[in-house]
Amino acid sequence: MCALRAVVCRTVCSVSKPVLRMTIHNSCVISARDCSQTGNRRNTLRWDLSPAEIRTATDSLINRVKKVYDDIGSLKIENVSTENTLKALANAKLDYASSRHVLDFPQYVCPSKEIRAASTEADKKLSEFDVEISMREDVFKRITALQEKFHEDLLPEEKRFLNRLITLGKQKGLHLSKDIQEEIKRTSKLISELSIEFNKNLNEDTTFLVFSEHELGGLADSYLNGLDKTADGRYKVTLEYPHYYPLMKRCHNPETRRKMETAFHSRCKEVNTGILEQLIQLRAKVADLLGYSSHANYVLEINMAKNANNVSDFLDTFYETLKPIGVKERKYILALKKRECLMKGLHFDGQINAWDLPYYMNQVEQCKFAVNKDKLIEYFPLDVVTEGLFGIYQELLGLAFAEVEHAHVWHENVKLYSAQDTETGEEIGQFYLDLHPREGKYGHAACFGLQPGCKGPDGKRQLPVAAMVANFTKPRKGFPSLLQHHEVETYFHEFGHVMHEICSKTMFSEFSGTLVETDFVEVPSQMLENWVWEKEPLRRMSRHYKDGTPIPDNLLDKLIASRVANTGLMNLRQVVLSKVDQTLHTSSQADSAEVFANHYKDILGVPATPGTNMTASFSHLAGGYDGQYYSYLWSEVYSLDIYFSRFKKEGIMNPKVGREYRRVILEAGGSVDGMDMLKSFLGRNPQQDSFFQCKGLIKSEETKMV
């Protein structure tokens, strides 16, 4: 079984939700009653369950699915068949995946704290049940018997599903003794509980700092106007993305930045450090019981990378290529800092601190590329970006989006859209947009798959449904929601995940949408980020919020040129986080703060802020990317190869290439190996050349992928 998987953006992103009705390019508005479900099973998701109903529905779902497993487990070995075993399991998994998310998703988005709490408890209960049914040795024996009897008679996706079930069974120790199985079960349940608690602590964090106007020097009036004030007229600054990142990039006062950086990387420090370090020990224990040398090797077995040594080699090669670039960029930043300190009469400590890095990286963009971000943001009102984004995705993928009127949603500002195939008129999926921050809401940007796009027991395709959850700045009196360019990039990225979810056409829910290898899951969404660095698409998604004028050519040219700004340091930071993750998950125990501080200093050349622990708020480590954070860099290599080899060469708005991409990559979900999809779409083995070219880095002869 699979818990709710949020595909989380690793980039810095501030995001929010649309309040005004948007005029969508090439789309219309339809009513919930008018949604055409041609050949598809409907969106049956409900968001109005009370805490009591969530508890009742959770128990009912568990009992329903358990009965199917009991029935399979009681079959005589000689009586197993594709129908009573493989298809019965597939139907139970589809029922589970289709019913579960109305229970465990509200914890991330529901305005009611009581419902969020009930949803969290449901998630814990369902996660325990996940462990229970994944440890059913009786069912495992029936599956292995089925493989021996009928393997050659199965369709390719059926074989893949059966092989996956057996691999997962072995990863749970179902081929081992009962006492080892029980120990794995107990430990796995505890891991699930702790992971949920880790992220709940972050979601519920309400820390804020108070600063005077002088302490916030350098920040635009539009930023200050969006802050709440204390009784004495000072400003309350939260640690949410729309507050934190602009301050770190723009505030002239180093002491203010130091306080914010310290607070940001101290979120839930005490409780989550304890949880994370316990998770590291428990994961290592399970891996050892199963005969793996580390948790990283355990989780990587079914990924493209296969093992921790391959990941280490990959990261080391990147580090060696990036290292000299990083040294140059640090020298330039240190010179900027020295000059500013001399000009303003500030103490120059001779080093780059963690709270200096985003500020001076922003200065590099202004000095080297002269990108006026205060001016640029005025051209990216959220409704215009959405209009352009929708138009680009529709044109490329052969889709038409329509807003569903009077849709059943979890908050009044959430919108639901229907997506239709332009050739057949078939409704292929639906998606929700929940784009602004609110209390208790998930604090990052992510796509949540809510209903899989696969065949049901009746042979009809179930309508896939996904939600994009983000935290863009809220519109306020006199100002619409205005996006920084990096937020536009985040929007394109997460919406790419949404398309992966709703275009899915698999046989089994196990392979629907983003349920691919973890180190392939970011490929489709990262590939689609490239459109926010090209002139034609940028013009389509931008207009000045006051008079509708286009971005001036000189500003557009500077923005596009700035893509290579700080590329060494930004990618080295990804190496840092990937190395931290690998170090923690190739160890049986670790001091997480020390591991982070050592890698940050050694690789990035910057000391971690004393008293902080970034890993205590590193949600990926408790959210499904444990031992797999390298996936972001790994996937970006492939995504850029796809973009430059096909789209850039044959036309970035070429619908023929776009529809081939939809068919080969998006519709296949996880029903085909990621490497096979890449080879099919590229017509050759993938390479690293495009990555290093795009980043403006030195290209070596050893950049070919093995």
Residues noted as catalytic: 494
d(CA 153, CA 302): 24
- Tokens found for residue 102: 């109305």
d(CA 660, CA 476): 42
d(CA 604, CA 598): 10
Rg (CA), the chain: 25
> Are the C-beta atoms of residues 513 and 504 closer than 8 Å to each other?
yes
Residue with tokens 């200096």, as numbered in its chain? 356
From the number of C-beta atoms within 10 Å of its C-beta (0-12, 13-18, 19+), residue 228 rates as exposed
- Tokens found for residue 65: 């699915």
> For residue 671, which of 457, 494, 517 has the smallest C-alpha distance?
517
Q: Which residues pair with 28 in a beta bridge?
A: 402
d(CA 88, CA 170): 20
Residue with tokens 């910057």, as numbered in its chain? 606
d(CA 255, CA 215): 8
> Are the C-beta atoms of residues 704 and 688 closer than 8 Å to each other?
yes
d(CA 601, CA 550): 43
From the number of C-beta atoms within 10 Å of its C-beta (0-12, 13-18, 19+), residue 41 rates as middle
> For residue 362, which of 240, 260, 252, 216 has the smallest C-alpha distance?
252
Between the alpha carbon of residue 369 and those of residues 218, 315, 361, the distances in Å are 19, 29, 12
Listed in sequence order, the DSSP H helices in 522-673 are 523-528, 535-540, 553-561, 567-584, 592-599, 631-642, 648-650, 655-661
> H/E element holding 13?
none
